[in-house]
Amino acid sequence: MWKYLVKRLLLMALTLFGISVLCFLIVTMAPGDPAAMKAQALASGGQSNLDEQTLRKNQELYYLDRPTFLNTRPPTRTTTVAVTLEELDDEENEYLRKDALARLRGTIGTAALDLLIPELAPRVERATARKAQLDEQFEALRGADAATARTALALEWGRFEPQLPPGSEDAAWADAWERRKPNLVAVVEAPARRLLEVLTGIVGAAGPKLAGDASLDEAREAWASWWSEHAADYGPEQVDAVVDAWLGKGAVPLTEEDAAADAELNALKRVGQLAVPSLMDAMLGAESETTERQAAFGLAAVARKPWDLTIDPKERQGFVNEWETARKARLRSWREAVVKRAEKRADRKLSDAEKAALDYPSDEEILASYPEQEAFVAERVDETLARHRYRWEDWWYRAEEYYVDFSGGRQFTRAFAQTQFGRWFSRLLVFDLGESYKQKRPVSEIIWDAFKKTLQLNVLAILLAYLFAIPLGVYSSVKRGSLGDQVSTLSLFLLYSVPSFWAGAMLILLFTGPPFWEVFPAHHLSSLDAETYTGWGQFTDRLWHLVLPVAALTYGQLAYISRQMRTGMLEVLGQDYIRTARAKGLSQAVIIGKHALRNALIPILTLMGGILPMLFAGSVIIETIFTIDGLGKVFFDSILSRDYPLIMAILMISAFLTLLGILVSDIAYAVVDPRIEYR
């Protein structure tokens, strides 16, 4: 049996992988760019003009700039810097150029210094060579073969060509070109100048001092000598020393003045992004919270991100204020609910005097279940910290390639991991379902909230279905051919054919409104003012709301299960051992209850496998009709708003549950029925 189990589990893992691939495929097949949609969803107030920048940022955020399934060139630090340098020289796309500049100066920073400084010399040389060539060409303009030289220049520098009237003198042409020479030189020098700009931006005041009009050669000299002096400052030993010093400090500056005066922090800032990998390691592998906080603070300083793990007094005060506001709102809304209920009972608006005379609970009573300030703040702090940790991990997943040169093995795994699917799947493996585009909350949180409601609905429905279906099936099979059997069989058959959405609509039509009976509420799972009810009141209110949706969910199941039960029971009743039991003179009750029913229940086990996924997302239509904010409705809404993380997560989970259900029912089958052999 264990062998069988292990085999099944292995197969299950395979199937799960297949499921995730299929799920991913379905969603990536979708027309429309999710990044664009996401950006549109973000653009508030009807501002939907998306510029390239937002789009690209979003694509990066959702990994849409990566290949779908296989990354043949997984980026590593060297290639990333090279690609960014290429983008820096892109003459066509100004946005790319600016973005590359910002990335080199801001994100990659000192981590690329050792790659960028050697790049300076060739660039300067190239610029010098081109300048010399230019000088020659300009000389030729004044020479004998001026026309040819002019054509050559015009061909090369088309957009700078001066416009002169036809038949102008050679000298005039030469003068005109001469006036444009500074522009040409600027273009020629641009790559080198841009790199210089990057370098100055990275190193800042610590870099070589250069005059504003320094020539390229001077700059190259200055940077070369600076680097020969300071290379050690940016070497691994120095970086490790600085990081260790910072981590060993064990305290973070809470105010800006403190931060400015903090020697270790300043040292860290000077080392810059080079310290990111070791800080990240320190943070992820931190054993104590203090170390983690220390590392995160340093990381936030060098990587220029706002997600440090330090809650300073100002932030804490913000949470306290929040608590205060929420508390006030709760008191107010409670009073309003009391008034509303009284008005509903009286069926008219109440005057102010009457309102004042109402029996309000005291503040203490209302706030009985309200969290204390400390607990509230602690919870918010935990939430914030968790969010920030999540952000750091998320960021590091992509940004690692800026700072680290990966080994061959890691390069290989990254060929699969650095893809859209790889990213989604690797997060799935650690049960990270991502964040909803629309609601800006973690998907798992949304699903859990909705699942709690769906569970109430479906557990009740399934319980009721089995509770009624099994006796009904037994009854009609035992009393086969009787009037009762015929009536129940036919009515169950008809019930089975009733579309559930119609049943829901008919229940609403019949039981919730003026033309017919107004007995049950039509929507939601609780009254609007349910909060003010007592515990028992809330319970009955909930039950009252559940009646119609549960009825609409139950009848189909009921019909199906009892038909299965009847068939199974009939088959069993025809068996020899039942005849034997009868021949032994056993009572009908024992025959049915002990011999027949037990065996007839075995096929029902197969149906049980379907319960798990049904509990999860088996009520999309009913929840939509009855406006219950359960998983079904969440799924439906997420489809309407194309909230892909949510869609994928719900599909994925219910597929997984189906698989689990099949496995469980198979095993149960094998356990219950000894005739079944494991293969």
Partner 1 sequence: MSAAETTEAELSSIPEGESAGQIAWRMFRANSLARVSLVVIHLLFGLAVFAPLIANGRPLFLRAFDTSAYEGDVAAFVDWHARLLDTQRALNQGVGVTQAQRLERDRARFQQGLPRVLRRIGGHLPRVDRADFGLLREDYVAAVGRLELEQIEALGAELTREYCARSALAAYKQAAVPLLEVGPWSESLDDALHDEELQAVARVRSEGAQLAERVASGLAAFARFRTADEQTALGDLAGPLLAGLRSGESGAEPRQLRTWTRELEQALDAAVAQPVPAAAQVLPPVIAFPALRHLSGVEVAFIVLYLLLSGMWLASRVTRTWSGGKRALVLLAPSVVLGGLFHLVCPPTFPPGDSFYKALAVEVARDDTGTSAVVFPLVPFGENENIYQDRHTPPALWEGVQLRAWEAARERASARGEPVEDLPRPPCARRFQEPGEAPLSPNDVRDRWSRLRSHWLGTDGNGRDVLTRLIMGSRVSLSVGFVSVAIYLFIGIVLGAISGYFRGWVDIVISRFTEIVICFPRLPLIIAVMALFDKPSIFYIMGIIGLTSWTEVMRLVRGEFLRLGGLDFVAAARSQGLSSARILFRHLLPNAMGPVFVAGAFGVAGAILVESALSFLGFGVPPPQASWGSVLHDSRGQEQVLWWVTIFPGLLIFVTVTAYNLVGEGLRDALDPRLRQ
Considering the complex, state which of residue 526 and residue 658 has its C-beta at the smaller distance from partner 1: 658
If the CB atoms of residues 113 and 657 are measured against partner 1, the closer one turns out to be 657
Q: Minimum CB separation from partner 1 for residue 5, in Å?
A: 17
494 Cβ neighbours under 8 A, 6+ residues apart:
none
Contact 403, 273 (CB under 8 A): yes
Instruction: For residue 566, give the DSSP letter.
Output: H
Choice between 376 and 656, CB closer to partner 1: 656
Residue 9 or 505: the one with the smaller Cβ distance to partner 1 is 505
Residue in 134, 108, 112 with CA at minimum distance from that of residue 187: 134
Question: Token pair for residue 241?
Answer: 């020393």
Q: Considering Cα of 73, then 77, then 79, then 80, what sign does the dihedral take? A: positive
Angle at 275 between CA 274 and CA 281, to 5 degrees: 125
DSSP notation for 229-277: HHGGGGSHHHHHHHHHHHHHH-----SHHHHHH-HHHHHHHHHGGGGHH
CB of 237 to partner 1, least distance (A): 53
Closest CA to 275 of 247, 248, 240, 304: 240
Q: Which amino acid is at 540?
A: T
Please, which residue, 304 or 523, has the CB nearer to partner 1? Answer: 523
Output 95 or 493, the one with its CB closest to partner 1.
493
Nearer to partner 1 by Cβ, of 282 and 615: the residue is 615
Smallest separation (angstroms) from partner 1 to the CB of 429:
18
Read off the tokens for 502.
């119609």
Task: Tell me which residue of 284, 302, 311, 265 sits closest to 396, measured CA to CA.
Answer: 284
CB of 291 to partner 1, least distance (A): 44
- CB-nearer residue toward partner 1: 339 or 547: 547
Closer CB to partner 1, residue 26 or residue 378?
26
CB of residue 89 to partner 1, shortest distance in Å: 39
Nearer to partner 1, 222 or 639 (CB): 639
Cα dihedral across residues 135, 137, 141, 144: positive or negative: positive
**Can you say how many angstroms the Cα of residue 136 is from the centroid of all Cα atoms in its chain?**
59
Length of the chain: 679
Give min distance, CB of 510 to partner 1, in A. 9
Q: Which amino acid, 376?
A: F
In the complex, minimum distance from the CB of residue 669 to partner 1, in angstroms, rounded to a whole number: 16
Nearer to partner 1, 174 or 461 (CB): 461
Closer residue to partner 1, CB minimum distance, 271 or 621 = 621
Q: What would you measure as the largest C-alpha separation in the chain, in angstroms?
A: 130
Minimum distance, C-beta of residue 435 to partner 1, in the bound complex (Å): 19
209: three-class secondary structure by DSSP: coil
At closest approach, how far in Å is the CB of 59 from partner 1? 19
Pick 30 or 375: Cβ nearer partner 1: 30
Which one, of 505, 477, 485, 653, lies nearest residue 568 by Cα? Answer: 477
Residue 77's SS3 state is helix
Distances (CA, A) of 400 to 74, 277, 414, 416, 569: 12, 8, 11, 16, 63
Using the minimum distance from each CB to partner 1, give the nearer residue, 509 or 519: 509
The distance of closest approach from Cβ of residue 158 to partner 1 in the complex, given in angstroms and rounded to an integer, is: 43
Written as six digits, the tokens of 324 are 């205060």
As measured in angstroms, the least distance from the Cβ of 1 to partner 1 is 21
CA 549 to CA 505: how far, in whole Å? 10
Q: Which two tokens stand for residue 317?
A: 């005060």
Provide the binding-site residues for partner 1, judged by CB under 8 A: 11, 14-15, 18-19, 22-23, 26-27, 29-32, 493-494, 496-502, 505-506, 508-509, 512-516, 570, 574, 613, 617-618, 620-621, 624-625, 635-636, 639-640, 642, 647, 650-651, 654-656, 658-659, 662
Under a CB-based contact definition with an 8 Å cutoff, are residues 593 and 415 in contact? no
Structure tokens at 307: 């997600």
Residue 435 dihedral angles phi and psi, to the nearest 5°: -120, 140
Provide the token pair at 424.
């989604």
3-class DSSP state for residue 512?
strand
Classified as helix, coil or strand, 586 is coil
CB of 109 to partner 1, least distance (A): 42
CB of 69 to partner 1, least distance (A): 17
- Residue at 94: amino acid letter: E
CB of 613 to partner 1, least distance (A): 6
Quick one: 378 or 509, whose CB is closer to partner 1?
Answer: 509
Residue 516 Cβ vs partner 1, minimum distance, rounded to whole Å:
8
Q: At what angle do helices 2-28 and 644-672 cross, to 10 degrees?
A: 160
